Amino acid sequence: MKTDLTDTTSSKINKALVLGRRAIGTPAVGMVLTLVIVTDEENAYDALKAANEASREHPSRTLVVIKRVSRSPRDRSKARLDAEVRLGADASTGETVVLRLYGEVGDHAQSVVLPLLLPDAPVVVWWPVNAPTDPAKDPLGALAQRRVTDTYAAEQPIQELTARADAYTPGDTDLSWTRITPWRSMLAAALDQVVCEVTSAEVEGEEFNPSVELLAMWLAERLKIPVRRSKSAGPGLTSVRMQTSSGPIVLDRPDGSLATLSIQGQPDRAVALKRRDTAELIAEELRRLDPDDTYATALKFGLERLDEEAAVTAPDVVVETAVETAAESAAPAAEPAAKPAAKPAAKKAPAKKAAAK
């Protein structure tokens, strides 16, 4: 069931929701949270599609906030709110309200959204693109217990990651961090299988991919070891190599789907490690609404030591020969000596727009 409201108010939208539930025979509200999606017209379809798929696991009221840009000064002077109310089959298992804000009302989106929030239910705000520098201080972000961003969709992902660390507030999270959850689980399980001491590591992946940076920061912070960040053609993360006292541990995923786990003295094992879509990432974030302390620790590690660790997190060598790799594995302690030479190279990386997915 779909209802279009032109030049409306929050009160009329609430009435349309009540009448719609009665019309489809579900007068009770059975949703567990409110998901607010702040996006533009270009990305609204993909974001709403992902939210509808995630609502099968987490029934929610989804509010899509789209701030329309008026072309003429006359249109910009007119404040108007249009809404599209979707219930039943058109909204998956929850309720969907698409809000289009024109003129000055776009500067007061929180006043429109606040009356539409489910009472006594958690609120999650998600910015698929164009997230604010400090989500917790954003008027809409201030209404939420969890604030979800995606640095992978930013113009300058690595600089955006540093800004996120500077403005971090408990409750913030990022889909670039969610993407590496299977990698972190697999690496932790691999280390549980052997008794050893990890001396160094290397994380390989696409250039300007914040997930690669976050995984390198997480390993460096948790294991207290030097971690080198090297580049590859992708897709996404391609491999993690850890040098240990019992031999190398390698998790390699060259095709973005199937990975191979290699542990010294054990047969190689194939591991399903496919790249997940946005719906799966959002569903994972909605499973827990408490602050992610592990994400915060890894993020702040990068902020404090990103320049100091330039030699091991962003080397300018893209492909190494087998001889160079063997030499580094035999003498990992020699890596810190290369820091002064590699540090300027990390700052020369040009800005590059990443894909939104």
> For residue 17, which of 8, 7, 27 has the smallest C-alpha distance?
27
Q: 10 Å Cβ neighbour count for 89?
A: 9
Instruction: Please choose, from the candidates 177, 174, 60, the residue with its C-alpha nearest in 3D space to the C-alpha of residue 127.
Output: 174
State the Cα–Cα distance between residues 175 and 167, nearest whole angstrom: 17
Q: What is the pLDDT of residues 287-320, one digit of tens each?
A: 988 999 999 999 888 655 633 444 444 444 333 4
**Contact (Cβ atoms closer than 8 angstroms) between residue 218 and residue 179:** no
The pLDDT value given to residue 316: 42
Count the residues in the chain.
357
Token duo for residue 326: 């063997």
- The answer to whether residues 173 and 285 touch, using CB atoms and an 8 Å cutoff, is yes
Q: Nearest Cα to 275, choosing from 181, 198, 355, 346?
A: 181
Q: How confident is the model at residue 253 (pLDDT cuts 50, 70, 90)?
A: very high
Alpha-carbon distances, residue 6 vs 3, 91, 100, 129, 261 (angstroms): 10, 20, 10, 26, 56
Q: What is the mean pLDDT of residues 172-193?
A: 93
What is the value of pTM for the model shown? 0.80
Strand order in the sheet with 249-252: 227-231, 198-205, 237-244, 249-252, 258-263, 269-272
CA distance 8 to 80: 8
State what percent of residues in the chain have pLDDT above 90: 43
d(Cα 115, Cα 113) in Å, to the nearest integer? 6
State whether residue 290 is helix, strand or coil.
coil
- The CA distance from 207 to 219, in Å, is 18
CA distance 191 to 247: 12
Q: Please state, in angstroms and rounded to a whole number, the distance separating the CA atoms of residues 277 and 7.
A: 35
pLDDT value of position 282: 95
Those residues whose C-beta lies under 8 Å from the C-beta of residue 197, and which sit 6 or more positions away, are 244, 245
Per-residue 3-state assignment (H helix, E strand, C coil) for 301-348: HHHHHCCCCHHHHCCCCCCCCHHHHHHHHHCHHHHHHHHHHHHHHHHC
pLDDT band at 124 (very low <50, low <70, confident <90, very high): very high
- pLDDT above 70: residue 35: yes
Give the model's pLDDT for residue 140. 94
Average pLDDT over residues 244-264: 90
Does position 246 have pLDDT exceeding 50, yes or no?
A: yes
| Cα–Cα distance measured from residue 122 to residue 143, given in angstroms and rounded to the nearest whole number | 9
Residue 43 has pLDDT above 70, yes or no: yes
pLDDT of residue 259: 92
Could you give the dihedral angle defined by the CA atoms of residues 24, 27, 33 and 37, in that order, rounded to the nearest 10 degrees? Answer: 40
Calpha distance 21→8 (Å, rounded): 19
Whole-number pLDDT of residue 23: 82
Residue 232 confidence (pLDDT)? 85
| Residue carrying the six token digits 């959002």 | 282
* Of 77-86, 296-305, 319-328, the least confident: 319-328
Mean predicted confidence (pLDDT) in 245-253: 91
> What three-state secondary structure class fits 268?
coil
For 135, what's the count of Cα atoms within 13 Å in the CB-facing half-sphere?
33
Across 151-159, average pLDDT:
87
Instruction: Please tell me the predicted confidence (pLDDT) of residue 207.
Output: 84
Average pLDDT over residues 209-236: 88
Average pLDDT score over residue span 80-97: 84
What average pLDDT does this structure show over 67-76? 70
For the segment 161-177, the average pLDDT, to the nearest whole number, is: 91
Structure tokens at 97: 């309200």
Instruction: Give the pLDDT band (50/70/90) at residue 154.
Output: confident
Nearest to 39 by CA among 10, 67, 62, 15: 67
Mean pLDDT of 94-104: 90
